[in-house]
Amino acid sequence: MATKRINIWGVIPVWFALCAALSLFVACGDSSSGTSADPDEPLSSDSNASSQTVLRSSSSWGGFVYSSIGSIYTGRDTLRAQDSLVDTLPDISRKQVYSVRRVVLDKRMSAMFGVPAGANVKVEALDVKAGLSVVGADSIDVAGIETAGLSFESPYVKVTVDGVTLDFPGVAQTVTGLSLSAFENLTSKDSVELDFVTSAAFPRVRALVMAGQDPAVAVEQAEMEILRAFHMDEFTDMPEKESSARLLAIHLLASSRVAEGEGFSFAGFGDDIAADGLWNDSASRAGIADWALTVDATDGFAAIRSALSVEPGFEKYLRIFYQKELGISECSVGNAGEVLYVANTASRYFVQEISDFSEVTERFVCKESGSIAFVSDDMKDTFAFGPGEEGEVRVGAFSGNLYYTYEDGAWRPSTALEKDAYFVQVSATSVFTDIKDVYESIKPNERVIFVIRHAERGDDTSKGGTLTSNGKKQSEEVGAKLTKFPQDFLLGASEFLRAHQTVEYIARGRGQPYDVRDTFPELNDDWYEKNHEASEKAKSECGGGWESTSKYAYTAAYTTGENAAFYPLAERSVELIEDVLLAKYNDPTQRFVILSSHDKVMVPLVVYCTNKKVNLKKYDGGKWLNYLAGVAIIIDELGKRRYIPVKGLSSAYM
């Protein structure tokens, strides 16, 4: 009888365009490789070898471009005894021999995946009746060297490719020494495809066969259990494009964990599945789900799709996995804008309460497209607020330094004016506190800017006018109060000499240098004045500058019309505080600043900072601001401000 030999021609290419951004080893070969030739059909060895050594070209499955990876292609030869030898060799019988003659590495090497020189393909013949025990094994390197062949009589083989490398996007270090394997009955196919699923399924296939399961059924069951582990088992009868997208998603998920060095291994996953068909490693499941969630929330699916030049499709399977694994709702138009949190205790995003940001700060929001996004800080700040009153301002619950205003049934970021109005409201008081007490109460995480009226002056009110000797003494005595902390005060004043003398003598009283001082034209006495002629007219109508200035501060008089005498109080005060003073002194190490200005600046500023609670209504028989009185602007490390009216003398009024 003639002897029959079956040759297995092996090709170990590496992914083409798909693998440029993948984290996993998809069996990218064309699975519709055809069936084996009839074993009884006589073919010459040379002719059949020639037909089978041609590399398959890459094929496009529903937009996913594949080339073969780790596929051992088989060809069939039939060798018969010569007729003249039949009589002399009556005991020759026909038998099938399975062998690997050559392994060829695809030249279209991916930048991410590769099989380095020295790697090898190991073929193990297995005895099904003995529970897939090895009855023969041999290997060949991948350098394309011709060999006499690795011959086995058993059609059941385990094919393993060792030495595969992975460069996953975003991970600098290459993962080396990975192995891919597959179990196959070579009588039913002419190729063996290796990927993550076939590699992970083998331990389960072995367990099922040892338990008496038919090998073909065992393979089908094991692969379905892997699909179930990734929550994709319900999608069974689907078009080729969808099957490819699902497989791509599984490979991305598994390789992400490997590439990030999280202790996950293909072999470990296979061993876990082998025991009972379930994936019991909750830490790995959650870690991989966290990866998929994070990629989706940062629009990473689009980047993967672009890098791979593939059509959309795999994204929904990644979402199915992390949604079911982490207990997150599926996103759609119906729940767009809904804030979500992770309830899986194994996830790094797990929180018990959606409003608790003390440990885990990330939250998620559904998008109409079905994807998910990280919740912005302003959404974290306001989602637990509930309704407010029109115009109400609140500080963010999460950030602690962002502010929101309730308007037309919704919270929006506050303007600078609204934010400062909040500071005014929460700190407003009618009581002037001694400057010493305020200074000594400054906390380690706070800094302060004192803005005060100059000390007692002489009759000359021009820029060159000076302090009286008593004014110099007053200033020096104030400085003597401000010595608790070792840090020197930063000094500043308007362009007027008496204002500079005030901070100079305060510094003298402290015993600190005074020759370096800042000059602020904005602290001159016309800061709030918009139109000088109109201001003079208002002064005449009211009976004096003190009266017109105080009436403006309390009633907004003289602020309307084309010839308004003054700027709106709040806007002009916030401009002075934020755009002038805090813009100049914005260093947290600048803990103590003292500035000197004039009554026509200080009265409106103090009235604003106290929400009109102090009594400086000179226009209505009230009092006027005394020398060395003003306001302390206190700022903490988050930028929160509070305003305290201060006095340097025994009384804040004159």
Q: Report the pLDDT value the prediction gives residue 24, as an integer from 0 to 100.
A: 30
Residue 170 burial (CB count, 10 A): 12
Q: Which residue has the higher pLDDT, 645 or 332?
A: 645
Q: What pLDDT score does 169 carry?
A: 57
Q: Does any domain span residue 537?
A: yes
Q: How many helices (H) and strands (E) does the chain have?
A: 19, 24
> Which CATH number covers residue 596?
3.40.50.1240
Residue after which a domain boundary falls, among 375, 408, 441: 375
The answer to whether residue 8 scores a pLDDT higher than 80 is: no
Least confident of 14-28, 100-114, 384-398: 14-28
Structure-block tokens of residue 544: 């004096």
Domain assignment present for residue 438? The answer is yes
* Long-range CB contacts (within 8 A, 24+) of 338-345: 338/365, 338/366, 339/363, 339/364, 339/365, 339/375, 339/379, 339/383, 340/364, 340/365, 340/366, 340/372, 342/293, 344/286, 344/289
CA distance 498 to 466: 5
Which residue range(s) make up the domain with 286? 282-375
- Where among 165, 196, 227 does a domain terminate? 196
Which residues, 6+ apart, have CB-to-CB distance to 19 below 8 Å? 26, 28, 69, 110, 112, 113
Please tell me which residue, 593 or 128, carries the higher pLDDT value: 593
Q: According to the model, what pLDDT value does residue 614 have?
A: 97
pTM, to two decimals: 0.63
Q: Are residues 51 and 125 in the same domain?
A: yes
d(CA 405, CA 78): 85
Q: Quick one: pLDDT at residue 255?
A: 82
CA distance 40 to 575: 96
Verify that 190 and 318 share a domain, yes or no.
no
Q: What is the pLDDT of residues 165-191, one digit of tens each?
A: 776 655 556 777 888 888 888 776 655
List, for residues 85-116, the tens digit of each pLDDT value.
334 434 434 445 555 444 333 332 233 456 66
| More confident of the two residues 348 and 179 | 348
Q: Once rounded to an integer, what is the mean pLDDT over residues 533-560?
A: 96
Is residue 553 within 8 Å of residue 616, measured between CB atoms? yes
Q: What average pLDDT score do residues 363-376 get?
A: 91
**pLDDT classification of 599: cutoffs 50, 70, 90:** very high
Give domain status of residue 209, yes or no: no
Closest CA to 495 of 527, 536, 456: 527
Partners of residue 160 on adjacent β-strands:
122, 181
Comparing 141-155, 302-316, 530-544, the range with the smallest average pLDDT is 141-155
Q: Higher pLDDT residue, 27 or 596?
A: 596
Lowest model confidence (mean pLDDT) among 50-54, 70-74, 114-118, 512-516: 50-54
- Based on the domain organization, do 357 and 448 belong to the same domain? no
Task: Specify the pLDDT at position 590.
Answer: 94
Same-domain status, 177 and 28? yes
Do the Cβ atoms of 495 and 468 come closer than 8 Å? no
Residue 143 confidence (pLDDT)? 53
Average pLDDT, the chain: 80
pLDDT band per the 50, 70, 90 thresholds, residue 152 = low
Closest residue by Cα to residue 2 from 75, 66, 62, 90 = 90
156, β-bridge pairs: 185
Confidence at residue 625, expressed as pLDDT on a 0 to 100 scale: 98
- Mean pLDDT of the 522-528 span: 97
Distance CA 382, CA 364 (A): 14
Q: What does the alpha-carbon distance between residue 482 and residue 372 come to, in Å, rounded to a whole number? A: 55
Instruction: Answer yes or no: do 97 and 160 share one domain.
Output: yes
Helices (H), 166-276: 196-210, 215-229, 240-259, 266-276
- Looking at per-residue confidence, does 17 or 579 come out higher? 579
Confidence of residue 194 (pLDDT cuts 50, 70, 90): confident
175, 287: one domain = no
Residue 355 and residue 312: Cα distance in Å, rounded?
35
More confident residue, 342 or 262: 342
* Same domain, yes or no: 317 and 432: no
- Over residues 385-409, mean pLDDT: 91
Residue 34 lies in a domain: yes
- Cα–Cα distance list, 417 to 35, 552, 568 (Å): 78, 19, 12
Q: Does any domain span residue 39?
A: yes
Cβ atoms of 340 and 308 within 8 Å: the answer is no
Considering only 181-190, 387-396, 571-580, which range has the smallest mean pLDDT?
Answer: 181-190
* Last-in-domain residue among 144, 167, 196: 196
For the chain, the domain total comes to 3
Same domain, residue pair 354 and 429: no
Q: Is residue 431 part of a domain?
A: yes
Instruction: Say yes or no to pLDDT of 445 above 50.
Output: yes
pLDDT category at 19 given cuts 50, 70, 90 is: very low
Residues 340 and 446 in one domain: no
Q: Report if residue 268 sits inside a domain.
A: no
Q: Do 361 and 427 reside in the same domain of the chain? A: no
pLDDT of residue 25: 31
428 shares its domain with 567: yes
Q: How far is CA 512 from CA 491, 590, 596, in A?
A: 11, 15, 17
Coil vs helix vs strand at 219: helix
Assess if residue 546 is contained within a domain: yes
User: What percent of the chain has pLDDT above 70?
Assistant: 77
Instruction: Give backbone dihedrals phi and psi of 55, rounded to 5 degrees, phi first.
Output: -70, 140
316 and 427 within one domain: no
